[in-house]
Structure 1
Amino acid sequence: MVVAAIALVCAAASISPVARPIRGLSLDILTALRWEMFGRSHDPAASPAVVVAIDEESMRTAPFKGSPMLTWTGEIGRVLAATLEGGAKVAGFDVVIPNSLEQSEIPFGDGMLGEKIRGFDRDFLRALAGASTKGKVVLGQVLGDRSIMPSSGQRIAVRQQQNIRPLNDHTDSDDVVRRVPLTFTIDGAKMPTMAVELAARALGTAPQFDERGRMTLAGYPVPGRVPNTMTLNFEGGADDIPTFSFADLRACAVKNDKDYFRRWFDGKVVIFGTVLDIEDRRQTSKRFATGIEGARAPRCAAESTPVMAGFRISTIAGVYIHATAVNNLISRNAVVEPGPLVRFLISTLFAVLAAAAAWRFRPLSAALAWMAVIVASIAGATIAFNHALALPIAEPLLASLFALAATIGFRFVIADKDRRLLQKSFALYLAPHVINRMLSSNKLPELGGETRDVTVFFSDIEGFSLIAEKMSPDNLMELMNEYLSAMTDVIERHGGYVDKYIGDSIVAVFGAPADDPDHAANAARAALDCCAQLAELNASSPLFHEYKLAQRIGINSGEALVGNFGSRRRFNYSVMSDAVNLASRLEGANKFYGTTVIASETTVALTGEAFAWRELDAIRVKGRTQALKIYELLALSAGLTSSQAVLITDYADGLAQWRAREFERAAQYFGRSADIDRPASLFAARARELAQNPPGEDWDPIRTLQEK
C-alpha cells in the first residue's frame, strides 16, 4: 500500500502545475531525438511553404545597403509580383512596415519630405492591390495593448481587414514557442491567424469550427491539447523549409528570369520575413535540433554574396514558426498530444514500475532496471513521434525517478530497518542463504525440515590434540580463528554452507539451503582449494611457522534431512542423515590410509570427469554393515601430473590383482610406489603376507575399519 501510494503521489505531482515548466521538455527532446535517429523525414523541395528572407545578405547588398526598410517598398513589390506571377498560391508578410516615407513630416527644402517623394510607394501598393483582388496576399499585424498595423496605404491597398491577419504566437510558461494560436477575436469577430489564413487560401477552403471551438480545415481536424492552438511539428536541422535571399530574388526579378520563379514558387505559400542574427529570434521546441542558418535554396543571380552563419544557435527566426504551421496544416501532420488523464496514467505506470523495482530489488539493480525502462520508453516515444504522436517522457521520467528515490528511502528508513538488524545480528551465526530464505518467507523459523540431495563435507586437523597441549589458549584461539576463517571462505566461495564448527572440525553442506545441482563437484573443488589454502598458510602466515597444520577431509553425497532441528525454544539450521555420519567416517579413514581427501563412490559418480580420482579400497566403516568403495581426490583432471597418472594406473592394477586373489602380482604392482605412497605400502605388505599365507575360500576383499 505504501508503494502504491508513493507511485500515485509522484504521478500526480508530475502533471501538477508545479511541474508545468518541465512539461514542454518532452516535445523539445523528442524533436531532437527524432532528428538524430531518423534525420529529415521530408524533401525540403516538397515543402508547401517557402521563405523569402530579408537576411544579412540583403542588408549588405546594393541597393539596400545602408538604407532603412521604409525605402525598400518598391523592390518588395517587385519581388512579390514576381513570385505570384511564378505561380505562388498566396503570399504572406511576417514583417510589418507600419509607416511610409510618403507620410513623413520631416522638413526637407522648402517643404516636407513626404511631399517631395509623393508616389514613392506606388509600385508596392499596386502590387498589393493587384494581389489582394485575387486573394493572394495577406499582410500581418501584431495584436496587443499597442497593436502594430501596416501603414494606412497598405491597409487600403489590401482592402483593410479582409487581407490582414494576426502574427501573434503562443508562448509557454518557460518562454518557448511550441504552439501557434488558431484564431483571435477582433471586434467580436473570430479571425484566423496568419498561418491558418495562408493554409486555407492555399487549400481553397475556409476553416470550420464546431460547437466546442475545434477547427477543421479541408476535412482535417486540427489537434490541439491547449484550446485554440495547434502544436507545431518542427523538422530538425536548418534546411527543412526552402529559404531565398530577398537580395537574390530582387536581382532575379530585375533580370526578368520568369523560369526561375516558376520553378521554385509554383504552387507554394510564400512568406516574407526577416532572418537576421539578432532580430525576431524565438526559442521553440526545435531548440535542441537547430542548424546553421542562411540562404539555402538554389540561387538565381550572382550579383550578391551569401552570408552564412558560422555557428548554431538555439533560436530560429520567427518567420519559420509561421512556415512550419502552414506546412503542418497542409500536410496534416500537426503534433497530437495526449490529454491530462492519459499523461497521468502513463506517469502512474512508470512510477509503479520504478517503485516496484525499488521495493523488489537492491538499489543498484533497481536503478539499472529503471534506466533500462526509461531508455526503452524514450526510444518508443521517439518512434511514435516520428508519426506525430507526442507521448510524454519528461513527466513519466520525473514521476518514476521520484518514486524510485522515495521507495528506496522508505525501505532504508523504515521497511528494511528490522531486516538489516536481523541480517547484521545473525550474519555471524547463520549462512546468508538461511537468513534470506527466512526473511523472504515473511514468517518466523519453525521446527522441521525437508529431504534434499546434498554433499556433506567433513574436515579435521591432524594431531590437533598434541598441538593444543603445546600452545597457550590465546595463541591456540588465534591460530584456529585464522585457519577456520580461511577454510570457511573457500567453502562459501564454492557455494557451501558451514553447518557447525566442532573444535577444529568443520561440517559443511553443499546443495542446501540453496539449491545446487553441482553440489558434489563444488564440494570436491572446495576440498582441493582448502588443501591449497592450508599449504599457503603454512608457508606464509607467521602463526603457522612453528606448527605446520595438516588436515583430513571426508566427502559423501546422498539424501539428507535439512532444516531446523532442536527444542521448541531453541534450534539450529542443520543437516541430519546417515550421509553425515559416513562423511565423518571417511574423514577418519584418512588416518589409516595416510591420505588427505577421501570421498564415497556416490560423490565420485556425481562429479563427472573433471576430477582425477584414485579408487583406494572397498571398506566397511564402524557402525555400518554395508561395504562401499572409497576414492582419493588427487587433482583436477586438467592438472593431473604424469607421476600421479602412473601412480593411479599401478594402484588400479594392483587393486584388480588383489581382488582376483593374485597376491604376488598385486604386491609387485603396489610395490612400485610403496616407498612414496602410504596406501600402496599398506596393500603391498598385506599382499605379501597373504601370498605366503593364502586365505580360505570365504576370504572377503573388503577392509573393515574399526576407528572413527
Structure 2
Amino acid sequence: MLAFWERLRTSPRLKGAFLYAVVLAVVAAGSFLPHRENARFASADRYAFDAQMDFLRDRFPLPVENDVVLIGTDGETEKAFPEPIALWHRHLAKTYRALALAKPRVVGVDFGLPERTFDKLVPGIDRAMMIGLVALKHEAPLVIVQHIDDREELVPVQENYRNIIGIDNLGVDRQPKEPDGVSRRFFEDLRSATTGETIPTLSGQMLRRLGRSVHEGYIDYSVGIAPMRYIPMHDVTAWFDAGDVGKIKAAFAGRIVLIGSMTGDRDRWILPVRLLERPEDMLVEESKRRAAPGPAVALSQPGVMIHVQVLRSHLANGMLTPMPEWLRALLCAIVALATLVRARPLTVIGVAILFPLGLAVVSLVSIRQAQVLIPLGSVVLAFWIALAVRAAYDTLEAILERIRMQRTFSGQVSPAVMKEMLRGGLSAGVSGQLADICVLFSDVRDFTTLSEHMSPGIVINVLQRYFDRMVKVVHKFDGTVDKFIGDGLMVLFGAPGKSADPCGDAVQCALEMMAELDALNREFESEGLPTLTIGIGVNYGTVTVGNIGSSERHNYSAIGDAVNVAARIEGLTKELGRKILITEAVVSRIGERFHFDPLGEHKLKGHSPVNVWGIRTARATPAAA
C-alpha cells in the first residue's frame, strides 16, 4: 500500500489516471445503483427538472396562443347541484349543449361515462345525457375519459351510450409516475397490463382529433398562463339556462376545452409546479415524498391538469426531449476530468458554485429554444464528485506529507520551526524579518580538555545524554534550538512563534537547565564518567530571523547584535565565576519575579560595555571535574 502511494505521489500521470478512475466508478454507482430509475443521479435530474420548471413558470412563463379553457367542478358547484355527483347527468347535458352552441375546436371530458343506468331511480336522465352528447358531438370533436379499474382493465361503456360514443371518442387518463410519485412524462398510448393491447390517452386522442401529431416526452410545465383559471361548471349551466349565448361563445368558441373536477381526493396527481390559481385547491403531499430528492414543490393537483399541460406543450414549442443516455454519460465523463486540476480551496469553492449556475443558464436556454433537457443534476453531481475526490486526495496527501516531514525533520529542527513549516508560516528560500526575541547561549566549560582523556564513543555518549536533557528543557519552555555549536547550544525564545513572555521563559529555562545538569552529573558520577559544568548567557533585543544561508542550503536562524551579545555574555560567565549571566535588557522586562544580583558594567569583545546581572539559585554545587 505504501509503495503504491509513493508511486502515486511521484507519478502525475498515474495519479491522474487513478483519480479519474475513482470518479468514474463513483459516478457509475450513482447512475445505476440500486437501479437506473432509483439511482441518486436520476433523483438529481428529477430535482433539477422540477426546479427549472418552477423557475421558468415563475419568472419567464411562455403564453400559449388560443390557450386551453378549463371547466371545473368545485365546492360551489356541489352546492349548486343538489344531487349526488353520480346523478349529475342533466347538468353535464346542459354543459355539453352549451358547448355545442359555441362550437369549440375540441372538447375533452375528464368525467367517465356512467357504469350503469340510473333511469329507474331518476327516469329520463340517461336520455338527457345522450341528447347533450349528440348535440356536442355534432358540433365539435369530443373525447371522453374511460376509467381503468383496480384490475388494470378498462371499465366498459354503459350500453345506452355505445351507439353515440365510439372508440375514437374515448381515452384513458393514466400517465406514468416516476419513483418519487411525480408525473413528469407523457406517453401517447398505454399498454393494458392484462390484455397487452394499446390504449390511447385522453390528451393523445384530443390532439389526434385536432389533426396534430402526438409526441411523447417530458411535459413542459412552464408554458401557459400562470396560474391558470377555470370556469366553474355551475356558471356554464347558468349561462345556458339564461340563454346567454354571447357569453358562452365568448368563452368557448374556437377553443380547446377540458372539463374536470377540481375537488375531492380521487384522481389527484403530484405535479412539479402549481398550475391552478386557487391555492386552497392544492394540498401539499409531504407524506408522499420519497427518500430520494423529490420536486422543488410537490403539489397534489387534479388529474385533468396533466392533460391541460400536455395540450399546452404541443400547442407551444412541443414536448421536452431528454438527451440520449450515451450523451449524458459522455458529459459526466468530461466534467469528471475536473479531478485532474489542482487549485486553491477558494478557487475550487468558486468554481463549484459558478459551474452549476452557468450550466443551469445553458439548460434553461436549451429548454426554451430547443426543447432539449440537459441532464443538469447528473452533470453537476459528477462535477462536484470530481472536485470532492480531488480535494480528498489532496487533503490525504497533505496529511501524509506532514507526517513524512515530521518523521524526516523531527530530529533536525525544533518543534516550533516544524510547526511553522507545516502551516506554511516560513517562506521558501532565503528570507528574513525583524523580531524582538530573547537569545540564550550555553556552553560546556573545558569540554575540549575533558574529551582528550575519553574515547570518541564516550564523548558521543556524554554529549548525546547532555543535549537530550537540555533540549527537553528548552522545548518545555517553548524555546527553539537554533543550532548546536560543538558542545554549545543557541536557543531562541519568541521566534518563530511569538511568545507573551520570552524573557521570563528564557530565564526559567536557564534555571531548569542547571537543575537538570545537576541530576545528570549525579548519573555521570555514579557511572564513573566526568561531570560537566556549563555557562549560560541570556540577552534580549531586535534581530533578523528567517531562513539564513544560500539559496541552495539554508536553515532557520537569527542574526544581529542581540545574538552576538548573548554569546559574549556566556563567555563572561567563567571570568565572573557565575553559571548564568543576564543582561539588563532581560532584567528590565521580567520585574521582581527572580532574585537578581547586579554585577555592573563589563566590556565585551568587539562591543561597547554592557550591564550584566547574576541570578541566585538554590542549586547544589556540582562536583569538581
Q: TM-score range by the shorter chain?
A: 0.5 to 0.7
Paired residue for 2:328, among 331, 338, 343? 343
Paired residue for 1:562, among 551, 571, 574? 551
Mapped partners of 1:315, 1:475: distance in 2? 77
Contact 1:77 1:127 in 2 (8 A): yes
Paired residue for 1:178, among 181, 184, 204? 184
Residue 423 of structure 1 aligns with which residue? 405
Describe the shift of the 1:315–1:156 C-alpha distance in structure 2 as closer, same or farther (beyond 3 A). same
Residue 304 of structure 2 aligns with which residue? 319
Shift of 1:368: 4.2
Query: Within 5 A, what are the aligned runs for 1:624-643?
Result: none
**What code does the residue aligned with 1:230 have?**
G
Shift of 1:320: 0.4
Shift of 1:476: 5.6
Per the alignment, in what secondary structure is the counterpart of residue 60 of structure 2? coil
Mapped partners of 1:127, 1:426: distance in 2? 95
**What code does the residue aligned with 2:474 have?**
M
Query: Within 5 A, what are the aligned runs for 1:538-617?
Result: 549-552=538-541, 554-555=543-544, 561-563=550-552, 574=554, 583=559, 587-588=563-564
Mapped partners of 1:252, 1:540: distance in 2? 103
Residue 131 of structure 2 aligns with which residue? 126
**What code does the residue aligned with 1:168 have?**
R
Residue 94 of structure 1 aligns with which residue? 110
Mapped partners of 2:270, 2:373: distance in 1? 19
Contact 2:538 2:566 in 1 (8 A): no
**What code does the residue aligned with 2:233 have?**
F
Contact 1:539 1:545 in 2 (8 A): no
Residue 374 of structure 2 aligns with which residue? 391
Contact 1:52 1:243 in 2 (8 A): yes
**What code does the residue aligned with 2:93 have?**
G
Mapped partners of 2:430, 2:399: distance in 1? 35
Paired residue for 1:328, among 313, 318, 323? 313
**What code does the residue aligned with 2:378 have?**
E
1:241 aligns with 2:213: no
Shift of 1:6: 1.6
Contact 1:281 1:318 in 2 (8 A): yes
Shift of 1:345: 1.6
Name the TM-score, length of structure 2 as normaliser. Answer: 0.62
Shift of 1:77: 1.9
Shift of 1:253: 2.7
Residue 268 of structure 2 aligns with which residue? 281
Contact 1:562 1:575 in 2 (8 A): no
Mapped partners of 1:51, 1:334: distance in 2? 21
**What code does the residue aligned with 1:246 have?**
M
Mapped partners of 1:164, 1:81: distance in 2? 19
Runs (5+) with no aligned partner, structure 1:
105-112, 208-214, 216-221, 223-228, 297-307, 438-450, 489-497, 509-524, 565-573, 594-633, 635-675, 685-708
1:69 aligns with 2:78: no
Contact 1:45 1:242 in 2 (8 A): no
1:534 aligns with 2:502: yes
Describe the shift of the 1:290–1:274 C-alpha distance in structure 2 as closer, same or farther (beyond 3 A). same
Contact 1:84 1:91 in 2 (8 A): no
Name the TM-score, length of structure 1 as normaliser. Answer: 0.56
Per the alignment, in what secondary structure is the counterpart of residue 550 of structure 1? strand
Shift of 1:409: 6.9
Describe the shift of the 1:453–1:290 C-alpha distance in structure 2 as closer, same or farther (beyond 3 A). same
Describe the shift of the 1:120–1:311 C-alpha distance in structure 2 as closer, same or farther (beyond 3 A). closer
Paired residue for 1:21, among 14, 33, 38? 38
Contact 1:338 1:390 in 2 (8 A): yes
**What code does the residue aligned with 2:564 have?**
G
The Cα offsets for residues 31-72 of structure 1, whole Å up to 9 and x where unpaired, read as 23552476153377856212212223322x13x23x233321
Paired residue for 2:274, among 260, 283, 290? 290
Contact 2:189 2:198 in 1 (8 A): yes
Shift of 1:403: 5.5
Describe the shift of the 1:575–1:73 C-alpha distance in structure 2 as closer, same or farther (beyond 3 A). same
Mapped partners of 1:268, 1:251: distance in 2? 20
Mapped partners of 1:294, 1:482: distance in 2? 75
Runs (5+) with no aligned partner, structure 2:
1-16, 286-298, 448-465, 515-535, 570-584, 586-600, 610-625
Describe the shift of the 1:9–1:129 C-alpha distance in structure 2 as closer, same or farther (beyond 3 A). same
Shift of 1:327: 0.3
Percent identity over the alignment is: 15
Mapped partners of 2:243, 2:504: distance in 1? 97
Mapped partners of 1:134, 1:7: distance in 2? 62
The Cα offsets for residues 180-215 of structure 1, whole Å up to 9 and x where unpaired, read as 21135799997753213323444xx242xxxxxxx5
Shift of 1:90: 1.2
Residue 145 of structure 2 aligns with which residue? 140
Contact 1:55 1:275 in 2 (8 A): yes
Residue 240 of structure 2 aligns with which residue? 253
Per the alignment, in what secondary structure is the counterpart of residue 247 of structure 1? helix
Shift of 1:344: 0.7
Residue 642 of structure 1 aligns with which residue? none
Shift of 1:322: 0.6
Mapped partners of 1:175, 1:531: distance in 2? 64
The Cα offsets for residues 244-275 of structure 1, whole Å up to 9 and x where unpaired, read as 22223322332333343333333321111122
Mapped partners of 1:457, 1:545: distance in 2? 28
Describe the shift of the 1:375–1:467 C-alpha distance in structure 2 as closer, same or farther (beyond 3 A). farther
Contact 1:14 1:396 in 2 (8 A): no
Shift of 1:408: 6.7
1:10 aligns with 2:17: no
Describe the shift of the 1:31–1:87 C-alpha distance in structure 2 as closer, same or farther (beyond 3 A). farther
**What code does the residue aligned with 2:184 have?**
R
Per the alignment, in what secondary structure is the counterpart of residue 273 of structure 1? strand
Per the alignment, in what secondary structure is the counterpart of residue 70 of structure 2? strand
Shift of 1:232: 0.8
Residue 55 of structure 1 aligns with which residue? 74
Contact 2:170 2:205 in 1 (8 A): no
Residue 154 of structure 1 aligns with which residue? 161
Contact 1:44 1:242 in 2 (8 A): no
The Cα offsets for residues 107-166 of structure 1, whole Å up to 9 and x where unpaired, read as xxxxxx16x71x3233332232233234421122246742124433333223x1232233
Query: Within 5 A, what are the aligned runs for 1:488-499?
Result: none
The Cα offsets for residues 364-395 of structure 1, whole Å up to 9 and x where unpaired, read as 87984685366436643663465244222333
Per the alignment, in what secondary structure is the counterpart of residue 321 of structure 2? coil
Contact 2:320 2:373 in 1 (8 A): yes
Shift of 1:170: 2.2
Mapped partners of 1:72, 1:540: distance in 2? 101
**What code does the residue aligned with 2:19 have?**
V
**What code does the residue aligned with 2:408 have?**
F
Shift of 1:325: 0.2
Per the alignment, in what secondary structure is the counterpart of residue 69 of structure 2? strand
Mapped partners of 1:463, 1:42: distance in 2? 80
Paired residue for 2:203, among 195, 198, 203? 195
Describe the shift of the 1:85–1:43 C-alpha distance in structure 2 as closer, same or farther (beyond 3 A). farther
Residue 353 of structure 2 aligns with which residue? 372
Describe the shift of the 1:309–1:262 C-alpha distance in structure 2 as closer, same or farther (beyond 3 A). same
**What code does the residue aligned with 1:21 have?**
N
Mapped partners of 1:401, 1:531: distance in 2? 43
The Cα offsets for residues 538-571 of structure 1, whole Å up to 9 and x where unpaired, read as 799997999994235544999953335xxxxxxx
Describe the shift of the 1:101–1:188 C-alpha distance in structure 2 as closer, same or farther (beyond 3 A). closer
Describe the shift of the 1:273–1:400 C-alpha distance in structure 2 as closer, same or farther (beyond 3 A). same
Paired residue for 2:475, among 476, 481, 485? 481
Mapped partners of 1:189, 1:557: distance in 2? 85
Describe the shift of the 1:34–1:545 C-alpha distance in structure 2 as closer, same or farther (beyond 3 A). farther
